[in-house]
Structure 1
Amino acid sequence: MREEQVKQSAQIIFEAFLGYNEEFRRISRRAVSRFENRQWKEGQQDTVERIELYEQWILAALEQIRKALGSELEDKAIWAEIKKEFSQLIQPYLDSEFMKTFYSSITRRVFSTLGVDARVEYIALDIRPTAKVETPAPSHSLHFRGSTRFLIDELLGFYSFNVPYRNIDRSVRYIAAEIDNHWRSIAGNRPLRKVQALEPVFYQSTRAYIVGHLEGDDLRVPMAIALQNTDNGLLVDTVLLSESEVSMLFSFTRSYFHVDLSTVADAIVYLKTLMPRKPTSELYTVLGRAKQGKTERYRSFFHHLGESDDKLIQAPGEKGMVMAVFTLPSYDIVFKVIRDRFAYPKTSSPQEVKAKYNLVFKHDRAGRLVDAQEFRRLEFPLQRFAPELLDELLGEAAATCKIDGDFLLVEHCYVERQLAPLNIYLRETSAEAKKLAVIDYGQAIRDLAATNIFPGDLLSKNFGVTRHGRVIFYDYDELCL
């Protein structure tokens, strides 16, 4: 009887993941027709539907397991056996680390795990999502044969749409000219040898992207060709040909891509070659795999915490009325904890603040809203906190932060990439950088308005600046549609 329960429970979780993953891919494949038919509103609805899938499949699997295990649902001994059985089931799969995250999402619902329990769940610190990648992601590779125009014409031939180009010859000439000019500027007399691009098209908002790289002798240049579907047919919107440009395309401030990947880990490995400074967690997240992005962010941060010795401190910038914000100086993320009481004139409740963050999670971020990941029941070593930060958390966020032995338990928080607060940036940067930031601040408000978002509070302290100099909004408690 027990052996049957173990096998059945492991199989339930295994099949639930496969079902979730297939449904995720099915929705992602809709992006092709959404783009071809210019169904932008429906495309955004697909994004929300896809985001909600994970929770739906987790809850459905959990309900089946409750029936299968009955009174033994919270028996850790049987879950240790289920974990062992599940590990055997997923062993052949390239994306088995995804499956481990899915499994642990279920066990944490069963046990409300504080920290991690290696007996019943997979420890994020040991999960290496790209560890099994041995072969490159499927791609088109073309060698230079004397003409960049011929090369690009052949490349575009691999990507067919049920919409004609407005002027295919002009598009080819434009891409070729951009590549030739950029290549000469960085490579000099070194010849272009090859262009390579991933087979799937990457869809985001109203654009489709062909993502790949140019290659020469000891030189590799990222490339993303942006296609726009207009009333008069397809045209090339722009060609991105630098790490910084492609990195901004895959930014933590943008909506998730819709791209049909049979396996994800090999695509991540390839994308890391284009953007080596981009955190792996953010690549998973921007591809729509938000839970795996969270797992990787957790793994990366706590691994770094174990290898470093600096103190967690209050984040730079003015003290927030709604959030207590802290960071580790040697690692560029911030933790945002909702305060017990909000200072005047704030009138919103913690529930309303959470609703605003959930809105951003599902909304088109237009490259101007930072992606905030929600975490629960995180444990930090007490000795890593600066005294003034610990006093603030225990005194002003006591409902969320509690001492548990040698650890501080944070029941709920949001984790974001750290940005330079705009008000501080404007005080400390050069006159030229200051001018550009102010102009981009205005553009950020325009971009948000285009997606029906108003920041609510336009003070510069509520905006941040990325390492690329882009102005981003990150204070969501007064955000509104």
Structure 2
Amino acid sequence: MAWTEAKLIAEAILEGFERHFRLFRETTAGAQARFEQADWPAVQVAARERIDFYDTRVGETVALLRREFHLRDPSDTLWRRVKVEYMRLLPQINQPELAETFYNSVFCRLFDRHYYNNSYIFVWPLISTEHLEAEVPIFRPYYPARDGFARVIARILRDAGFERRFRDMRRDIRCLLLAIRSRFPANRAIQQNFQIAVLCAPFFRNKGAYIIGKAINGADQIPFVVPILNDPEQGLYVDTLLTGVEDISNVFSFSRAYFMVDTEAPAAVVDFLRPLMPRKGKAELYTAIGFQKFGKAEFYRDFIKHLRYSSDEFMIAPGIRGMVMCVFTLPSFPYVFKIIKDRFPPPKEMTREQVKEKYQLVKMHDRVGRMADSWEYSHVAFPLDRFSPALLELLDAECAGSLERVGDQLIIKHLYIERRLSPLNLYLHSADDDDIRHAIGEYGDAIKQLAAANIFPGDFLFKNFGVTRHGRVVFYDYDELCYLTECNFRDIPEAPYPEMELSEETWYTAGPNDVFPEEFATFLLTDPRIRKVFRARHRELLDPDWWRARQASIRAGHLEDVFPYPVERRFRKDREEFPRRYPHLADG
């Protein structure tokens, strides 16, 4: 009887997962139609809704199990048998790693963390996915040495499966040929087995589609991305060619929204991508294609391994301490851990739940490459002896409500984990003039691109922004964040008499949503070098009219273009220069 019940429970959990994956794929598969119809509002809605699918299906499955089965304490043999029965079902599907994570989520929703061990859940994966790339075709091979680059490029564009026509495919092919010839010297040896491998399914995000592949030349693998944009009036067009690890890593950045790519075997897609971005782990790549729950589980496994093979202490993260979060890090591990404080000192007036809502807003919103994504965890066990005394003292003083000591472990009841960045204020403190020009240019661009996505950071202080290893400036302190359209941008009224302008007290009042952009200069631009660069590059950010114009554009339903690559890399100039520089290719 127990084995029969275990099998029924296992089947119910797998049915819950299969329903989740089916609905996930239906929404993902619709990305192409939304892109080709230029239905940008629907693109944003689908991206937000898909993030919630997993928790919704887990909740439905938990409710079914509670309703249909008399659930007992998992310390008996039933749930060990359920796990065995579930393992027997996994080889029949092409997403076993995702199904294991779904099982874990259901179990952890049902029972206390005391049972979170490999006897009851899949702490470590048991089903291999290495065979899936061979069994489920996910890429197409092409042979330029045999068929010619022009024909291969045309075939790649057609094989992508777009139903909407290209407005000028011949010109797109010419631009790609020009880009290839300009970036790869003619004297570079082409091996006999040279080929191009392209993922069958395009990747979709925001207003772009991306063809992703690699050129295989002997032992070399050169990653490339071909972004496709949609002119609603004239058709599709190739916007640029991105090549190399840095370019493709920026497209897959942790500060951007998740891709939609329809695939039956996500593990096979990730295995294809991993050699192209060797500094990104499986956790980041699964997250990038929308499987953030599995990415979260995989990240935790990597973290456990790292703890086993390291000995340094967790310590307070460098930088100015925040008023809302305690932040700590492990020097040998490139991430930070953030815990909401028990109490917030004045002038902060918010609750713990409001802080969590801000982080959820960022998770659901288009991050336009300027907001750091985070993994949210509950009841995480850390080895207590790995915490520095100073960090333990800080956590006990500021976050005691989130802590629990169990034996030699410190249980943190709720935390966020993010990629570690260099705080912009520290970066600027030691920067030379060239670094300041770059960083302040990036800082202003970040604010402008967030505004384009209807996000107002709230607090513009440099300490709330970080610099990535690629030199990109990213916002990461979300407690003051709000929608741009919620703000009331005001001009500073004229002082009743001139002497008041020299007073430390303001002569005007401000409502809770009032923002005075002219004030930004007062607290941001105290360093003459920074002030000079900021006023040269981003003076408009001090103008209330500029902010009001952004609001009007958003309210009118306009979705601005924000590219995951430099604007100067686009083909607009190449389109003009190609016939002049390569007349022999002007006709195809």
Which bracket does the TM-score occupy, shorter chain normalised? over 0.9
Native 8 Å contact 1:148 1:180 kept in 2: no
Give distance in 2, aligned partners of 1:455 and 1:156. 39
Measured in 1, the distance between the counterparts of 2:436 and 2:149 equals 39
Q: Cα 1:434–1:279, aligned 2, differ >3 Å: closer, same or farther? A: farther
- Give the AA of the match of 1:248: N
Match of 2:189 in 1: 190
Structure 2: how far apart are the matches of 1:45 and 1:143? 39
Aligned 1:282-361 pairs, distance under 5 A: 282-361=284-363
Counterpart residue identity of residue 72, structure 1: R
Q: Relative to 1, partners in 2 of residues 1:160 and 1:443: Cα closer, same or farther, differing over 3 Å?
A: same
What secondary structure does 2:334 align onto?
Answer: strand
Q: Secondary structure at the match of 1:368?
A: coil
Aligned to 2:506: none
Residue 482 of structure 2 aligns to a residue in which SS?
coil
User: 1:161 is matched with which residue?
Assistant: 162
Q: CA offsets per residue over residues 421-450 of structure 1, 9 Å max, x none?
A: 111111234432321111011111111111
Can you list the C-alpha shifts for 1:63-83, whole angstroms capped at 9, x where unaligned? 121133225365542111111
**CA distance in 1: counterparts of 2:138 and 2:113, whole angstroms:** 39
Question: Displacement, 1:114?
Answer: 4.4
- For 1:91, what is the secondary structure of its paired residue? helix
Shift of 1:342: 1.2
> How far does the alpha carbon of each residue in 1:35-82 deviate from its partner, in whole angstroms, 9 at most, with x for none?
000011111111122111111111111112113322536554211111
User: What is the aligned partner in structure 1 of residue 3 from structure 2?
Assistant: 3
1:131 & 1:116 partners in 2: Cα distance?
26
Once residues 61 and 75 of structure 1 are traced to their aligned partners in structure 2, the CA distance between those partners, rounded to angstroms, is: 21
Superposed displacement of residue 268, structure 1: 0.5
* 8 Å Cα contact 2:98-2:294 kept in structure 1: yes
| Equivalent position of 2:438 in the other structure | 436
Aligned CA RMSD, in angstroms, stands at 1.7
- 1:378-397 CA distance string (max 9 Å, x none): 01111100110011111110
Q: Which moved more, 1:113-122 or 1:252-261?
A: 113-122
Selected match of 1:250 from 252, 255, 262: 252
**Residue 396 to residue 129, structure 1, CA distance change in 2 (3 Å):** farther
Residue 218 of structure 1 and its aligned partner are, at CA, apart by 3.0
1:149 and 1:131 map into 2 onto residues whose CA distance is 34
SS in 2 for 1:309: coil
Find the residue that maps to 1:229 and give its secondary structure. Answer: strand
Q: Does 1:65 align with 2:54?
A: no
* Whole-angstrom distance in 1 between the partners of 2:372 and 2:245: 20
Q: After the TM superposition, which segments of 4 or more aligned residues of structure 1 sit over 6 Å from their partners?
A: none
Structure-1 residue corresponding to 2:26: 26
Q: Deviations 1:161-184 (Å, cap 9, x if unpaired)?
A: 222212111111111211221122
Distance in 1 separating the partners of 2:238 and 2:103: 42
Amino acid at match of 1:164: R
Structure 1, 399-408 or 108-117: larger mean CA deviation: 108-117
Residues 141 and 197 in structure 1, CA contact (< 8 A), matched pair in contact too: yes
Q: Is the Cα contact below 8 Å between 1:394 and 1:402 reproduced in 2?
A: no
Structure 2: which amino acid aligns with 1:222? P
- Spell out the pairing of 1:400-439 with structure 2 (5 A cutoff): 400-439=402-441
Q: Report what 2:174 is aligned to.
A: 173
Does residue 39 of structure 2 align to residue 39 of structure 1?
A: yes
Q: How far, CA to CA, are the matches of 2:6 and 2:188 in structure 1?
A: 64
**Residues 412 and 132 of structure 1: is their aligned pair in 2 closer, same or farther, counting only changes over 3 Å?**
farther
Query: Which residue matches 1:211?
Result: 212
Q: Which runs of 5+ in 2 are unaligned?
A: 484-588
Compute the displacement of 1:273 (Å): 1.2
Kept in 1, the 8 Å contact 2:380–2:413? The answer is yes
CA distance in structure 2 between the partners assigned to 1:230 and 1:326 by the alignment: 46
For 1:33, the aligned partner's letter is A
Question: What is the one-letter code of the residue matched to 2:165?
Answer: P
- C-alpha separation in 2, matches of 1:344 and 1:247: 40
Q: CA 1:174 to 1:115, structure 2 compared with 1: closer, same or farther past 3 Å?
A: farther
Structure 2 CA distance for aligned equivalents of residues 130 and 256 of structure 1? 22
Aligned residues: 478
Deviations along 1:244-297, whole A, 9 cap, x unmatched? 110111111110001101101111011001111112111000110011000011
| Range 89-98 or range 163-172, more displaced | 89-98
Deviation at 1:216, TM superposition (A): 1.9
Q: Point out the structure with max Rg over C-alpha.
A: 2
Residue of structure 2 in register with 1:117 after alignment: 117
Quote the residue 1:84 is aligned against. Answer: 84
Give me the whole-angstrom Cα distance separating, in 1, the residues matched to 2:248 and 2:343.
41
Deviation at 1:131, TM superposition (A): 4.6
Which residue identity is paired with 1:166? R
Cα 1:114–1:410 shift into 2, 3 Å: farther
Match of 1:452 in 2: 454
Tell me the percent identity: 38
In structure 2, distance between residues paired with 1:139 and 1:119: 38
Shift in alpha-carbon separation, 1:114–1:250, aligned structure 2, 3 A:
farther
Distance 1:127 1:340 in 2: 39
Kept in 2: contact 1:130–1:269 (CA 8 A)? no
Once the two structures are TM-superposed, the CA of residue 405 in structure 1 deviates from its matched residue by 1.4
Q: How far apart are residue 2 of structure 1 and its match? A: 2.6
Q: Residue 21 of structure 1 aligns to which amino acid in structure 2?
A: F
Shift of 1:189: 2.4
Gaps of 5+ in 1: none
Residues 115 and 379 in structure 1, CA contact (< 8 A), matched pair in contact too: no
C-alpha distance in structure 2 between counterparts of 1:405 and 1:260, whole Å: 46
Instruction: Using the TM superposition, give the Cα deviation of residue 235 of structure 1 relative to its aligned residue in structure 2, in angstroms.
Output: 1.1
Query: Quick one: structure 1 residues 168 and 471, their matched pair in 2 at CA, closer, same or farther if it must change by over 3 Å?
Result: same
Match of 1:233 among 220, 235, 239: 235
8 A contact 1:95–1:129 mirrored in 2: no
Change (3 A) 1:240 1:128: farther
Partner Cα separation in structure 1 for residue 69 and residue 205 of structure 2 = 42
C-alpha separation between the residues in 1 aligned to 2:354 and 2:90? 40
Equivalent residue letter for 1:478: E
> In the alignment, is the contact (CA less than 8 A) between 1:227 and 1:234 conserved in 2?
yes
User: Residues 383 and 473 of structure 1: is their aligned pair in 2 closer, same or farther, counting only changes over 3 Å?
Assistant: same
CA shift in 2, pair 1:300/1:344, >3 Å:
same
